[in-house]
Amino acid sequence: MENGKEPRDRNEFGAARPRRSMRAEDRRGRGGEVDLEALLAAHCRQAVTLLPRGVLGVATAIEFLEAMPAGYRLGLPDVTYSGPKLFALLVAHGVLAAMPSPRVVPAALGLVAGVSPLLEPRSARQWSLWLGQLREPASAVAAALRKRTPTSQISLAPSTTTARPLRAAALRADRDHLASELARATEALMRAREQAEDESARAAALQHRLEEKSAAAALRKDSREKMLASIRETLNIPADDPREFAEVVVGVMVSLREQTARADKAQQGLHRLLADLAAADLQLAALREKKREMEAQLDGYEIELAVAHAELGLRRSKMFRPEAAEVNEYRTAGAEDARRAQQRRRSEGK
């Protein structure tokens, strides 16, 4: 003790006062003021630890507090809304993933108001969120946050989490993507049906041409046989006639040889035509098999279209993203309806 006074920099035991950590100083601006965004993040961390566990709305209250720094960065103003409208504002700006259950909303807001001056109950159904006043360092809200937030929380390193909750715009984009996929699948199905119809028409035309060629070949063969019979009848030469009649029929024989040669050529042409007909039958069988495969593919597209349509109908009817089990149930039902429709078409076609 000097001159009857204690040194200012020592406590009653003579030890020097602990210096403020450099980490805490890094969180303060000029004049020793804490950065407001860092103060808000620290306060929200502290408030989350103060919330009771195992009560109604605590999970939603934690999400609400964790979303406050993001709302502050977006520049959200002071608002006084009902509970659902306040959550709708945060969801619309993307700081919350989705609307909570109406039963949970008042309980969650009551928990938040109990641990944070950011939220103030104005009536039984109205709440004020003071993110705008927090931007004023001298405001009562900022002073309350400084008073209620330990320095140990402010000096913590900022969270490195970069994941953001799914926005309502992302949900709408997902819905629009499914709708565009459904439109593309419908268009592909129509094109496949048109292609199958064209292939069927070409196969029918080919079959008709083959039948016409076969009928024409049979007619030519019958005509040649009648002509030979007429020549034999005209010459009146029985098979057992022993006479030499070469001179008599030499001219006719030359003509007959020519006709025979032409008949042989025609026979060869007929063989080629029959070979072409067999090849065409194979081609027709391949076309029919291709048609069956395309019909099976069309059935698959139709089932996929029905599944997508069922899922799209479910998502349109729901405000929030449906559960995976419910989506699978709707998709399975859509597939079964499509298969029954296909079976009815087959039975009617028979």
DSSP string of 210-279, one letter each residue: HHHHHHHHHHHHHHHHHHHHHHHHHHT--TT--S--HHHHHHHHHHHHHHHHHHHHHHHHHHHHHHHHHH
Measured distance CA(249)–CA(94) in Å, rounded: 108
Termini Cα distance of the chain = 114
- The answer as to whether 339 is a domain residue is yes
- The answer as to whether 145 is a domain residue is yes
- Mean pLDDT, range 219-243, rounded to an integer: 67
Do 199 and 276 share a domain, yes or no?
yes
Say which range, 1-10, 202-211, 293-302, 306-315, has the weakest mean pLDDT: 1-10
Nearest to 275 by CA among 217, 219, 208: 217
What are phi and psi for residue 10, nearest 5 degrees?
-130, 150
Measured distance CA(228)–CA(257) in Å, rounded: 11
Residue 195 confidence (pLDDT): 87
- Mean pLDDT, range 311-331, rounded to an integer: 85
- Mean pLDDT, range 67-92, rounded to an integer: 92
Q: In the predicted model, is pLDDT for residue 113 greater than 60? A: yes
Nearest to 215 by CA among 259, 279, 261, 277: 277
Do 131 and 73 share a domain, yes or no?
yes
Do 152 and 229 share a domain, yes or no?
no
- Mean pLDDT, range 290-315, rounded to an integer: 86
Domain-ending residue, one of 106, 141, 161: 161
Q: DSSP letter at 99? A: -
Q: In the predicted model, is pLDDT for residue 144 greater than 70? A: yes
Residue 224 confidence (pLDDT): 67
Domain span including residue 301: 169-349
Residue 120 confidence (pLDDT): 92
- The answer as to whether 2 is a domain residue is no
Q: In the predicted model, is pLDDT for residue 130 greater than 80? A: yes
Measured distance CA(53)–CA(175) in Å, rounded: 36
pLDDT tier at 313, thresholds 50, 70, 90: confident
Maximum Cα–Cα distance across the chain:
174
Which neighbouring-strand residues pair with 58?
A: none
CB 96 within 8 Å of CB 165: yes
Do 262 and 296 share a domain, yes or no?
yes
Residue 177 confidence (pLDDT): 79
- The answer as to whether 9 is a domain residue is no
Q: Which residues contact 310 (CB under 8 A, 6 or more apart)?
A: 330, 331, 333, 334, 337
Residue 69 confidence (pLDDT): 92
What is the tally of structural domains in the chain? 2
Do 84 and 183 share a domain, yes or no?
no
Residue 160 confidence (pLDDT): 41
Say which range, 20-34, 99-113, 142-156, has the weakest mean pLDDT: 20-34
pLDDT tier at 111, thresholds 50, 70, 90: very high
- The answer as to whether 185 is a domain residue is yes
The 3-state secondary structure of 59-97 reads HHHHHHHHHHHHHHHHCCCCEEEEHHHHHHHHHHCCCCC
Do 125 and 177 share a domain, yes or no?
no
Do 95 and 220 share a domain, yes or no?
no
Residue 30 confidence (pLDDT): 38
Nearest to 112 by CA among 61, 66, 148: 61
115: part of which helix (H) or strand (E)? Answer: helix 105-115
Do 137 and 59 share a domain, yes or no?
yes
More confident residue, 155 or 290: 290
Domain-ending residue, one of 114, 129, 161: 161
Say which range, 28-37, 54-63, 277-286, has the weakest mean pLDDT: 28-37
- The answer as to whether 8 is a domain residue is no
What average pLDDT does the chain have? 79
Answer whether 0.75 is exceeded by the pTM.
Answer: no
- The answer as to whether 15 is a domain residue is no
Checking phi first, is residue 49 left (phi over 0); if not, alpha (psi -120 to 50) or beta?
alpha
Do 140 and 253 share a domain, yes or no?
no
Domain-ending residue, one of 145, 161, 177: 161
- Mean pLDDT, range 44-62, rounded to an integer: 92
- The answer as to whether 10 is a domain residue is no
CB 170 within 8 Å of CB 102: no
Do 65 and 181 share a domain, yes or no?
no
Q: In the predicted model, is pLDDT for residue 213 greater than 70? A: yes
Do 210 and 313 share a domain, yes or no?
yes
Do 95 and 238 share a domain, yes or no?
no
Say which range, 74-88, 196-210, 237-251, has the weakest mean pLDDT: 237-251
